[in-house]
Amino acid sequence: MKNPVLKSLLYSGVLCLTMALRADDGMAIRTYAEGRELYLAGSYYDAAEKFEECRFYSGDPTIRANCLKAQLAAYRMCKLYYREFLLIEELLEKYPDHADCNELIAREFEIADLCLAGFREPAFWIFRWVPWLSDEDRTAEVFNAALARAPYSGFAPAARMKLAIHFDRQGDARQAIIQLREIVDKHPGSPEMKYALLALADGLFALSGRSDGDSRCINEAVELFERFCREYPDAPETEFARNRLARAKDVQAKKLFEIAEFYRKSGRSDVAERYLARLMSRYPDSETAAEAEHTLVNISADYLPGRPPQSNEARYPDIRSYSIPENAELLLISPHDAGSHFLLNVPDLKGEKVPSKQEGDEK
């Protein structure tokens, strides 16, 4: 550089900038120490504010990452779990080299479980004692963030199942189905796979009754029910799956019959005949089979009726009967009908005789 004055000014600017950075680092260290004293004294919220202030005094990534760690630890002690989650996200996003990523992601799953269990963060710390001044439900947000960072982790199958149950309780069946499909597609060997497969099939079966113009939902439901019965033949839920499968095939048969009726009424009996023949071939024991065969006989001169289709027993639940045991300890006494389908407050008789009502007692 030929201009000595400009060179001197440049060196002076660099020196001042260096001194300023060092001064800020020193301020950051002092502020961090103040936050640490507050933390050890039990003033966790004030400590978190000090750690947040400390972050903005220094541009050093190590100092800023350590301040983030200290701040999220303070928020955890305050039970401000959503704020802790936000700091974890910031730490993973900006300073992954200074963080234990596995531990932090596992903590995100823990926070999601807390939100699912009913945790709602206070909207204002100063009014934290007011129960109705709380933040919104963050369950889906925290679960989705954790799953986005660890979609194939050991936590993922159970987390997706919990999220599917959460969406189902919220009345969002389509979002629940998305999570169940993720389990079936990405975690086939997990313990949740069995229940996800059955729940996904049943969810698609339920959706087919609302809007399923192209029969996509009911067709996939049939495939999944058949897969469940094939992969889990001895499971206690297999009876339910066979029942749903038979009813789903009834729906498929009904849709074929509706298409055949449309063509028949439009004067295209040849096309209607093909749909009815397909119905009789694939679903001879369906609830629509008798009406379909009657229609097919009337519009086709070549169709030869077969034997009457047998009723599909799998369509109905298997009701087992048991003899009354001689040992009174094995008896289950049902409470009085109180409009609930749960058996609550069942007394343990242990062979004792139940006292009968005396005359004049209130009925």
Q: What are the C-alpha distances in Å from 261 to residues 170, 258, 297?
A: 39, 5, 14
Check whether 166 has a pLDDT greater than 70: yes
Q: Dig out the tokens for 223 from the structure.
A: 């495939």
Long-range contacts of range 74-81, CB-CB < 8 Å, 24 or more positions apart?
Answer: 74/35, 74/39, 74/44, 74/45, 74/47, 74/48, 75/44, 75/48, 77/39, 77/44, 78/44, 78/45, 78/48, 78/125, 80/45, 80/48, 80/121, 80/122, 80/125, 81/111, 81/114, 81/115, 81/119, 81/121
For the ranges 18-22, 34-38, 47-51, 157-161, the lowest mean pLDDT is seen at 18-22
How much is the average pLDDT of 147-153?
A: 93
Residue 21 lies in a domain: no
- Residues β-bridged to residue 122: 134
Q: Give yes or no for residue 85 having a pLDDT over 80.
A: yes
User: Quick check: 164 pLDDT over 50?
Assistant: yes
CA distance 70 to 134: 25
What confidence score (pLDDT) does residue 13 get?
Answer: 35
pLDDT of residue 56: 82
Residue-level pLDDT at 27:
82
Tell me if 281 is assigned to some domain: yes
Domain presence at residue 300? yes
C-alpha neighbours within 13 Å on the C-beta side of residue 355: 4
- pTM here is 0.71
Instruction: State residue 292's pLDDT score.
Output: 85
Residue 76 resides in a domain: no
- Report the mean per-residue pLDDT for the chain: 79
Do 152 and 190 form a contact (C-beta atoms < 8 A)?
A: no
Using DSSP, how many helices (H) and how many strands (E) does the chain show? 13, 0
What pLDDT, on the 0 to 100 scale, is given for residue 296?
Answer: 82
- The neighbour count for residue 145, using CB atoms within 10 Å, is 20
Q: Which pLDDT belongs to residue 104?
A: 94
- Does 216 map to a domain? no
Alpha carbon distance 197, 216 (integer Å): 17
**Rounded Cα gap, residues 198 and 239, in angstroms:** 12
Is pLDDT larger for residue 283 or for residue 20?
Answer: 283
Lowest-pLDDT choice from 44-48, 127-131, 223-227, 241-245? 127-131
Task: Count how many domains the chain has.
Answer: 1
Q: CA-to-CA distance for 104 and 315, rounded, in angstroms?
A: 49
- Residue 44 within any structural domain of the chain: no
**Hey, what amino acid is at 62?**
T
| 158 occurs within a structural domain | no
- Full residue range of the structural domain in which residue 268 is found: 260-318
232 exposed, middle or buried (CB, 10 Å; 0-12, 13-18, 19+)?
middle
Count the helix, strand and coil residues of the chain and give each as a percent rounded to the nearest 5: 65, 0, 35
Question: Residue 35: inside a domain, yes or no?
Answer: no
